[in-house]
Amino acid sequence: MTFHGRKFAETLEDAIGIPVVGMESPRGIADPSLGAFGEMLAQADCVLLVGKRLDFTLRFGKPPAFAPGCMFMQIDADDDELARSRRAVGDRLALCANGAARSALQELARHASSVSPPQHAAWRDDVRAAIAYRPAAWERASQMDSGRVHPLAALRPLQALLDSHPQAVLVSDGGEFGQWAQACLQAPHRVINGMAGSIGSALPYAIGSRSALPDGPIVATLGDGTFGFHASEIDTAVRYRLPFVAVIGNDARWNAEYQIQLREYGRDRLVGCELAPTRYDLVCAAFGGHGELVTGQPEMAGAVQRAHASRLPACINVMIDGVAAPAIARTRTP
């Protein structure tokens, strides 16, 4: 959701008390930046889709992601999308209209401003609380038994930098490390890999973000395998004086594929997931940027400060433990 789209959404939320949630991740309902939102979505009796496909990210509108009787309304600029939704949920698509998402949100927000008082504030607050929920155990995550840094401990020191400027940008690539970043970091602007779910775009996105916003900090988070796709773009950033801070979660493997194979086939059938614990910080320095190696959680805050202060394209190579991406759920009482 764009900056202006978020503003219209916030106006709509505040006016009528109905939660408005932007979904841009290929993980959809399981997007860790949305916390325990999936638990609330399953309780909804009606959902309005604005420029959002009723696709795999929403489990095609079917239980258990949605209640069996949940009704849908949809606004989309593509009539084919409306037809697909009709095929997916049949008569549960109660109302649909052709229109662009931004203008639709703008008009909805304008009309909602005449509604007083908000009709569903308690439901809105419950959904907001679910989205904000993070497990208490995360606060204790630091150094792992393996001797490597937990992804959360590697990422948390970045929040102070992102909070330091109203135009700060968080760029998060795909993969497991990127999911941890999206779960625990917030920024005025966020760029992720989008619905296609590709990996490898973080460094080019960081360069593009710096070109558009010359002042605020640009923080990019990416895995070690991801770094290899466009490593030479650091040279581009150096030549054009486009500084950013890239944090590489280095677990020396293709961890997303590793976790899938581990889950589906077991530890004895892991194939082709290993990488070397490469010194990506030295790669960045060789291009003329700033490089730092971090092997322990206490080192991270200082490394972030030095990388930002360098005013160069910077890579912090953090040796992390290769844990699976977070799956956030609240503990329910019987």
* pLDDT at res. 120: 77
The pTM for the full model equals 0.90
Burial class (CB in 10 A: 0-12, 13-18, 19+), 60: middle
The dihedral sign for the CA sequence 325, 329, 330, 334 = negative
- pLDDT tens-digit profile of 291-315? 999 999 999 999 999 999 999 999 9
- pLDDT tens-digit profile of 4-49? 456 667 777 877 778 999 888 989 999 999 999 999 999 999 999 9
* pLDDT at res. 142: 77
The whole-angstrom separation of Cα 247 and Cα 314 is: 8
- pLDDT tens-digit profile of 260-284? 999 999 999 999 999 999 999 999 9
The whole-angstrom separation of Cα 221 and Cα 225 is: 12
The whole-angstrom separation of Cα 329 and Cα 238 is: 42
- pLDDT tens-digit profile of 197-256? 889 999 999 999 999 999 999 999 999 999 999 999 999 999 999 999 999 999 999 999
CA distances from 112 to 8, 63, 82, 103, 107 (A): 10, 30, 24, 14, 8
* pLDDT at res. 1: 44
Contacts of residue 94, defined as CB under 8 A and 6 or more positions apart, other chains included, come to 46, 71, 72, 73
Q: Which spans in the chain are helix H?
A: 3-16, 37-41, 79-89, 101-112, 121-132, 151-155, 158-162, 175-184, 202-212, 224-227, 233-239, 255-265, 280-286, 300-309
The whole-angstrom separation of Cα 245 and Cα 237 is: 11
Q: Where do the domains of the chain lie, and which CATH numbers do they carry? A: 3-132 (3.40.50.1220), 137-319 (3.40.50.970)
- HSE at residue 207, side-chain half, CA atoms within 13 A, is 15
* pLDDT at res. 118: 64
The whole-angstrom separation of Cα 138 and Cα 80 is: 43
On whether the CB atoms of residues 17 and 164 are closer than 8 A, the answer is no
Beta strand pairing status for 218-223 and 244-250?
parallel
